[in-house]
Amino acid sequence: MSARLFPHGLAGVIFDCDGVLLDSRESNSIFYNRVLAVFGLPPMTPEQEKYCFMATAGQALRHIVPPALHQRIDEVVSHHVVYDRDIVPLLRLQEGFRPFVDDLRARGVRMAVHTNRRLHGIQRVLDIFALPSYFDPVVAADTAAPKPSPEGAQRICAAWGCNPADVLFVGDSEHDKTTAEGAGVVFAAFNAGPLGGQIKTESFDELHAALAEALPGTAGRSA
C-alpha cells in the first residue's frame, strides 16, 4: 500500500496532538466538564464532546458555555480549573507512539506536530515527554490558522521543501482530514472509527506495517 501512496518514499510525517500523540480524550473531557461544573451546568453531551476534541480550547469553551457566561470563562480557567495544574498530570502518550517516532527519527524521516492547542500548551506537552527535538516545526492554533485550514500543513511542507504528496498527516478527526486534503498530503485516519483516509489504522504498530515499503533505510524498529 505505502509504495503506491509514496512512490518516491515517505519524506515526512505530521502528527495531530490529541488522540494521536496523546491519549487525551478522557483528560480533555474532565477539563471541560469541570469548567461546566463551576458554572453549575451539566456535563457535555456527546455532540459537545466531539466538537471540543477537534476545536481550539477557546472555541470549545465558547461552544459549551452559554453566551451570557462567556465573560467569566477566563476567570474560571485561570483560578478554578487550571489546565497545567489539574489536567496536565493526567496526560499520557498514545500507546506505541514513542517507539514509532524513535524509528522514524532513526530513519531520517522528518516529523512535525500540527495541533489546535495553543503553542504554549503543545510546547508544555512536548517538554513533559522529552519530545521537543523530534518535531520541527510545531504548528499551533496561534501560529497558523487553526485546522481545518490547510495553512499549517502547507507551512510544514514548505519548511521541509517537500512535495506534499510525499508527506503523511496522522489525525483522528474530520478537521484533520480536511486539513490534509486541503494541503494535498496523504491522510492516515488513526483510531478514528468511521473516519476514512488513504490509510486507516487502529494503532502505531499497524501504521508502521502499512508504511514499511515507503520507509527509508533498513534500520530495525526501536524496542
Q: Where are the domains of the chain?
A: 12-23+92-211, 24-90
Residue 1: what pLDDT?
61
Residue 25: what pLDDT?
86
Provide the CATH topology of domain 12-23+92-211: Rossmann fold (3.40.50)
Cα 60 from chain centre: 16
What b/e string do you get for 160-196 counting C-beta neighbours within 10 Å, with b at 16 or more? Answer: bebebebbbbbbbbebbbbbbbbbebbbbbbbbeebe
Contact 57, 118 (CB under 8 A): yes
Residue 176: what pLDDT?
97
The one-digit pLDDT tens for each residue of the chain (223 residues) are 676 899 999 999 999 999 999 998 899 999 999 999 999 999 999 999 989 988 888 999 999 999 999 999 999 999 999 998 999 899 999 999 999 999 999 999 999 999 999 999 999 999 999 999 999 999 999 999 999 999 999 999 999 999 999 999 999 999 999 999 999 999 999 998 899 999 999 999 999 999 999 998 744 444 3
SS3 92: coil
Q: What is the pLDDT of residues 161-206, one digit of tens each?
A: 999 999 999 999 999 999 999 999 999 999 988 999 999 999 999 9
pTM for the whole structure: 0.86
